Structure 1
Amino acid sequence: MSLSNVALSLLCIPIVLVVAVLSKYYRAGRRPANFPPGPPTLPFIGNITQVPRAKAFLTYAIPAHMQADHGSIIGLKVGAQNLVVLNSYKHVKALFDQRGSIYSSRPRSYVATQLVCPNEIHLLLLGYGPEWRKQRKIVQSLLNVNVVDRLLPIQNAEATQTMYELVQDPAAYYDHIRRYTTAVILASVYGQRGARFDAPNVQALYHAQDQFTEILETGATPPVDAFPFLKLVPEVLAPWKTWAKAVRGDQKALYLRLVRETRERLARGKSTDCYLHLMLQDQEKNAMDDEHVAYLAGNLTPPASTLLSFLLAMIKYPDEFKKAQAEVDRVCGSSRSPTSDDIDQLPFIKACMDETLRWRPVAAGGVPHMLTRDDTYEGHFLPKGTVLLANTWAIHMDEAEYEQPERFMPERFVDNEFGTRVPVDEDSDDQKNRRTSYGFGAGRRVCPGQRLAKNSLILNMAKIAWGFDLAPPAGAGPVNDDIDTAYTDGFLITPRRFPITITPRSDARKAIIVAEYEAVQPFFKKYED
């Protein structure tokens, strides 16, 4: 062979390799045979241009567009990644609930599981396997009914302080609600107080949570998992890498500091009844280092979104708020505010809670599940590795299931536990194990902290209805409750700050709120340094 032929052969090798790689990515953008239908794909990139950077769940849920053309199960291609969006509770039940053994894993996201939360430290992001089962078992033991209900005194006390704060400074309502949710976690998990919204640990927890939810939203970072070569882009040209590392650094430093502070308090004989104390007692038995313990405790932080959505709904639908006020007056009278002992006697307040969770779900786009082996469903082929999203927003806004789903109508839950047009027959195979809300997830990955969250919600809703009148400010114009413009972007959505007037219903009730706040001060002593 001549030198020219050798040179030509050597030149052909990289050309062939490039062609092979390009051919692979070209084909990867195509929808697999018998995959769920969806919009047309483009070579190489699939449907990437049709996945918005924010609130993608709205695009998937438009009945006249996507669902009318493709049905309630939509197949998309994000580069080589197969993505399926489930827009009906029936699909969620059939796959996540009934086939949980193969639909309970999480996709391995470069940003989430290698940059932000490496080393299998975050329960939410763990794949379905031994480490997930171990951490899930620990959390479930901490959040069983008996243990959670022992936190009611903390929730009562912090809700009482929140009502006092609304009396003293109603304009700062947004911060008071956010302080409440964080203060309950600081007391129950770490055994310490979050007495003010500007307290360092309260601020740090919110900053860490806000950054975490923003960076995890679909479209917030480039599609690295679909195009792995993006991992090689230098950080100077990839600001998302710098952002991810900052989220990792802030979150890790905070959670480890809270563990250290709790250890110091325990050494002084304080905080002995907090969750973290129990975790540290069993740390060696559970074979968990400090970082894993710290993140497991950090997983328990809830958002304040639902309470803020409740306030927004009450000024948008004032007649519903009057009904809530009438119920708490009938049960509690005018001489005391509601407590956790009254919860079972407040069906309309409970209906308001259920409707808020339906009307404005916090995790509106769902949390991704990953299929761990090939499967077929309703004639569709779902390859191993397919990522599936239960589109909570679409499920909760399904006109076939809910009358006027865009309206806030608590009455739908008063006589019907599920709030649907047709009462649910739980004895039928089709309706068995139906969920009131899909905002807490489904299947084996369902949120274990539902009871803790609902106790806080119904208690605060009842106290607000008892103590205050709510209204839009005079001359403020129509109340904006639009999910697209009135709510933040992010994996977990929250109402943006909105104008509202919060006024004590009477001087007598104002005095009772102040007196009840003063009465709970001794309770807080054990959580203070």
Structure 2
Amino acid sequence: MMLTVLAYVWKFVVAALAFAFASLLVYYVPASRRPRNFPPGPPGLPVLGNLHQMPSKKLFLKFHEWQKQYGPVVGLKLGPLNVVVLSNYKPVRELYDKRGNIYSSRPDHYVGNNLICPDEVHILFQPYGSTWRALRKAAVGLLNGPSIESIIPLQQAESSQTMYDIMQTPEQWFEHLRRYAAAVILEAVYGQRGATYDDPKITGFFEIEMAFAEIMAAGATPPVDAFPFLKHIPSFLAHYKSLAVAVGNKQKAFYNALFDKTKARMERGDTAPCYMQKLLEGSLQSGLSHDQLVYVGGILLEAGSETSASNLHLFVLAMISHPEVLKKAQKEVDDVCGDSVSPSAKHIRHLPYMRAIMTEIFRWRPLAPEGQPHMLTQDDWYDGYFLPKGTIVFANTWSIHHDESEYDKPAEFIPERWLNNKFGTTAGGDTVDGDNRRITYAFGASRRVCPGQEMGENSLMINMAKMVWAFDMKADPDSPPDLDARATYSDSFVGGPHAFPAILTVRSQKHREVLERDHREAQEFLRRYED
């Protein structure tokens, strides 16, 4: 009797599974076909589309490869999802910038929206709409003109601290630059000091950011957004779920701790001037929940820290691999500052070659090189191609910045290209298309363009000029730099460089004395942010 029941149950289970599988095929086979008039792209497989061709690492290089074969607008199928990759500034300008009202949303991200950051707290995952606008408005308050000006003394003081730290322990230059990037945001947003790299606020942030980047990296989780039925696999069989929730819990606890400390200092009346104080006082709060307010500070810390640090690391990589560029930069800075004063914000407008170096870094090694995914919110046409509502769109910054029709020798690091015209192009983009293109796309495009560009550029220019003025920089002869993009980029969410050795030495005793004087003055200024 029992065997008969078990046989019946087994037949029922097999039949149910067969029915479920057949139902999935009925939906996913036609859904994985390319829409009529869709942009060209590599042929795919039934159900999977092009999913099996998507690498888990360095996605931008695969996009670049397809662009050479299929053109600047490439169409892909990731299961039932329609994906379009833009690899030239012209479609990006037309779609992202001119039609930004329908190209500025985000695709649903199950891991981000449901596991790591539920309750609409993180602007990165929010679709274009009222919540996104409220979060952006709150964040932009730190990044407008008056606020940017008020942060410059802080950037200069922390830069002086960083140059002193590098002088004292040059073998730790990589960590010192990371500390700088996080410390400036900690002080500007929370009024809290991060004086050393081993400060729990600094190390804690980067540990959480690394975990966040790893779980968000391509291939780190199953393709649940393409195949939603995968969401229903129980957690004991889907380890990524518990991992993502743990990352989110740690992130939320860390941001709450920073928030609570600033609030407590405000209540005692001993907080340093900071942006979170303004938010808490309500002058810039636009109906945000407590958790959203907490995450505004966290978002600013995320956006300003990893990107600034990575760009400064790329600067050192460029200098040690291009000594002729470093020599020219040192001459320019020496001509402006001499050897008795280090560069400051008032000098950077007089350093066109240094600015060209910065812009070339943005072009040569853009962070997040494949761009962040946008989602089309209504049917659209471009250049004879049909883009259905819901299409996920990438602006592949790597291809845009390495376009051989736009740039002379795009694979090479050539700051001089930016001295010839402001777009660095061979075609004279400043006269041909100057009103309709961005200088670079390192900060994105559309209505989601990064609002922190000016603040970030100030940080980079101040630090780069000080480093060029203070130090000779050379490659380690036992470990020369590898400039191949596969080696340069980490596989994290931002895609900054791996740690690499470099030899930094103070240029003279006079330079050393100036760095020591700058450090003493910086300590006096920064004391207000200490506990």
TM-score, with length taken from structure 2: 0.94
Deviation at 1:68, TM superposition (A): 3.2
Say if 1:308 and 1:495, in contact at 8 Å, map to a contact too.
Answer: yes
Structure 2 partner of 1:222: 222
Which residue does 2:11 correspond to in 1? none
Deviations 1:195-216 (A, max 9, x none): 0001001111112222222322
- Which consecutive unaligned segments of at least 5 residues does structure 2 have? 1-13
Give the distance between the partners of 2:216 and 2:38, measured in 1 at CA: 26
Query: Given that residues 86 and 391 in structure 1 are in contact (C-alpha distance below 8 angstroms), is that contact kept between their aligned partners in structure 2?
Result: yes
Q: Which residue of the other structure, out of 24, 36, 54, is the alignment partner of 1:33?
A: 36
How much does 1:440 deviate? 0.7
User: What residue in structure 1 maps to residue 470 of structure 2?
Assistant: 467
Alignment counterpart, residue 484 of structure 1, candidates 483, 486, 498: 486
Deviations 1:505-525 (A, max 9, x none): 011111211121012211111
Q: In the TM superposition, what is the alpha-carbon distance from 1:189 to its structure 2 partner?
A: 0.3
Equivalent position of 2:5 in the other structure: none
Structure 1: stretches of 5+ with no match in the other structure: 1-10
Q: Find 2:525's aligned residue among 519, 523, 526.
A: 523
Residue 292 of structure 2: aligned partner: 292
CA distance in 1, matches of 2:315, 2:99: 34
- Distance in 2, matches of 1:190 and 1:212, equals 21
Pick one of 48, 55, 58 that aligns with 2:51. Answer: 48
Taking the aligned partners of 2:234 and 2:23, their CA distance within structure 1 comes to 25
Q: 1:242 to 1:58 in 2, by over 3 A?
A: same
What is the SS of the residue equivalent to 2:75?
A: strand
2:17 and 2:192 map into 1 onto residues whose CA distance is 62
Residue of structure 2 equivalent to 1:444: 447
* Amino acid in the other structure paired with 1:53: S
Structure 1 residue 38 displacement after superposition: 0.7
Residue 234 of structure 2 corresponds to which residue in structure 1?
234
State the one-letter code of the partner of 2:141: S
Instruction: Give the 5 Å matches for 1:298-377.
Output: 298-301=298-301, 302=304, 303=306, 304-377=309-382
Greater shift, 33-42 or 457-466, is seen at 33-42
CA distance in 2 between counterparts of 1:13 and 1:317 reads 64
Q: Does 1:60 pair with 2:63? A: yes
**d(CA) in 2 for partners of 1:294, 1:352:** 36
Deviation at residue 433 of structure 1 after TM alignment: 3.2
User: 2:402 matched to 1:397?
Assistant: yes
Query: Structure 1 length as normaliser, TM-score?
Result: 0.94
SS of structure 1 residue aligned to 2:83: strand
Pairwise CA distance, 1:21:
3.0
- Aligned equivalent of 2:411, options 406, 414, 418: 406
Q: Which amino acid in the other structure matches residue 218 of structure 2? A: T
Q: 1:500 aligns with which of 499, 502, 505?
A: 502
Shift of 1:237: 1.8
- Corresponding letter in the other structure for 1:518: R
CA distance 1:15–1:516, change in 2 (3 Å) = closer
Report the counterpart of residue 161 of structure 1 in structure 2.
161
Judged with a 3 Å threshold, the aligned counterparts in structure 2 of structure 1 residues 145 and 458 are, in CA distance, closer, same or farther, namely same
Q: SS of 1:246's equivalent?
A: helix
- Comparing 12-21 with 199-208, greater Cα deviation is found at 12-21
For the 8 Å contact 2:81–2:391, the answer to whether it is kept is yes
Offset of residue 12 of structure 1: 9.1
Partner Cα distance (1:471, 1:247) in 2: 38
- Whole-angstrom CA distance in 2 between matches of 1:101 and 1:486: 35
Could you tell me which residue of structure 1 aligns to residue 22 of structure 2? 19
Give the letter aligned to residue 42 of structure 1.
L
DSSP 3-state at the match of 1:187: helix
**Which sits farther off after the overlay, 254-263 or 412-421?**
412-421
Deviations 1:305-330 (A, max 9, x none): 00000000001111001011001100
Residues 342-365 of structure 1: CA deviation (Å, up to 9, x unaligned): 111011111111111111111111
Shift of 1:282: 1.4
Structure 1 runs (4+) deviating above 6 angstroms are 11-17
CA distance in 2, matches of 1:20, 1:205: 45
Name the CA shift for 1:356/1:215 in 2 (closer, same or farther; >3 Å). same
Query: For residues 12 and 168 of structure 1, do their structure 2 counterparts lie closer, same or farther at Cα, with a shift above 3 Å needed?
Result: closer
Q: Compute the displacement of 1:13 (Å).
A: 9.4
1:70–1:151 distance in 2 versus 1, CA, 3 Å: same
Paired letter, 1:378: D
Does structure 1 residue 433 correspond to structure 2 residue 436?
yes
| Aligned partner of residue 495 in structure 1, secondary structure | coil
CA separation of 1:13/1:459 partners in 2, compared to 1, >3 Å: closer, same or farther? closer
CA contact (8 A) 1:283 1:293 kept: no
2:459 alignment partner, one of 449, 456, 459? 456
Measured in 1, the distance between the counterparts of 2:155 and 2:284 equals 31
Which amino acid in structure 2 is aligned with residue 311 of structure 1?
A: V
Percent identity (aligned): 46
> Residues of 2 paired with 1:21 and 1:474: CA distance?
57
**Contact 1:54-1:490 within 8 A present in 2 as well:** no
Secondary structure, aligned partner of 2:76: strand
Partner of 2:110: 110
- The answer to whether the 8 A contact 2:135-2:292 is kept is no
Instruction: Tell me the alpha carbon deviations over residues 421-471 of structure 1, each in whole angstroms, 9 at most, x when there is no partner.
Output: 122245x6x542311221211010000111110000000000000000000
- Distance in 2, matches of 1:13 and 1:176, equals 59
- Measured in 2, the distance between the counterparts of 1:375 and 1:201 equals 46
CA contact (8 A) 2:141 2:284 kept: no
Distance 1:272 1:162, change over 3 A: closer
For 1:14 and 1:268, the matched residues in 2 are separated by 63
> How has the CA–CA distance of structure 1 residues 59 and 262 changed in structure 2, closer, same or farther, with 3 Å as cutoff?
same
CA pair 12-158 structure 1, distance change in 2 beyond 3 A: closer
Secondary structure at the aligned position of 1:150 is classed as: helix
Paired letter, 1:321? L
Aligned positions of 1:62-101 closer than 5 A: 62=65, 66-101=66-101
Q: Look up the SS of the partner of 1:90 in the other structure.
A: helix
Q: Tell me, what secondary structure is at the counterpart of 1:345?
A: coil
Deviations, residues 254-277 of structure 1 (Å, cap 9, x unaligned): 111110000111122233520111
2-side partners of 1:75 and 1:195: how far apart? 48
SS in 2 for 1:105: coil
149-158 or 139-148, larger mean C-alpha shift: 139-148
| Corresponding residue for residue 6 of structure 1 | none
Aligned residues: 516
> Contact 2:421–2:430 (CA<8 Å) still a contact in 1?
no
Partner of 1:417: 422
Question: In structure 2, what is the equivalent of residue 256 of structure 1?
Answer: 256
Residues 266/68 of structure 1: CA separation in 2 closer, same or farther (3 Å cut): same
The code of the aligned residue for 2:253 comes to A
Retained in 2: the 8 A contact 1:270–1:526?
Answer: no
Q: Following TM superposition, by how much is the alpha carbon of 1:73 offset from its aligned partner in structure 2, in angstroms?
A: 1.0
Residue of structure 1 equivalent to 2:139: 139
Q: CA deviation at 1:52?
A: 0.8
CA distance in 1, matches of 2:440, 2:132: 24
Higher mean C-alpha deviation, range 277-286 or range 168-177: 277-286
Q: What residue is the counterpart of 1:122 in the other structure?
A: 122
Residue 227 (structure 1) shift: 0.7
Distance in 1 between the 2:500 and 2:414 partners? 21
